[in-house]
Amino acid sequence: MTIRAGLLAHTIAIERSAVTVDDAGRPVTTWSAIATRRAELVERTIAEMQHDSGTLSESTLILRVRWLADLRREDQVVFAGEPYRVIKISEPERCVELELECRRIEP
């Protein structure tokens, strides 16, 4: 079974980090795109939590994409211009599709 193309309504970028050293000798993390994929938005949740410093909101996505061999949990997904950390990768159908659970990266 494959993902129906009509369900892949969103474009996402998958990015990988690289650490370089700046002129002052400090490590600097930069992100570069390794793939662009069409994705199905399976689920989107926004939860608000109370902390000592105030209310925080946490956005979580579950995206379904066609299979990509070299995806890592250390990668990030850019969805609608916002970066999300990959927290879980599921493979419901071997070498056909992936489900990515992603959490919004707070600035």
Token couple for 75:
């990668």
Tens of pLDDT, residue by residue over 12-48, are 999 999 999 999 999 999 999 999 999 999 988 877 7
pLDDT band at 80 (very low <50, low <70, confident <90, very high): very high
Domain 5-104 has what CATH class? mainly beta
Query: CA angle at residue 76 from 17 to 72, to 5 degrees?
Result: 80
Distances (CA, A) of 4 to 8, 35, 55, 58, 98: 7, 20, 39, 30, 14
Tens of pLDDT, residue by residue over 45-69, are 877 766 666 666 788 999 999 888 8
CB 56, CB 49: distance < 8 Å: yes
pLDDT band at 84 (very low <50, low <70, confident <90, very high): very high
> Can you give the pLDDT at residue 53?
67
- pTM of structure: 0.79
> Can you give the pLDDT at residue 43?
86
Query: What secondary structure letter does DSSP report for 25?
Result: S
Residue bearing the bigger pLDDT, 9 or 48: 9
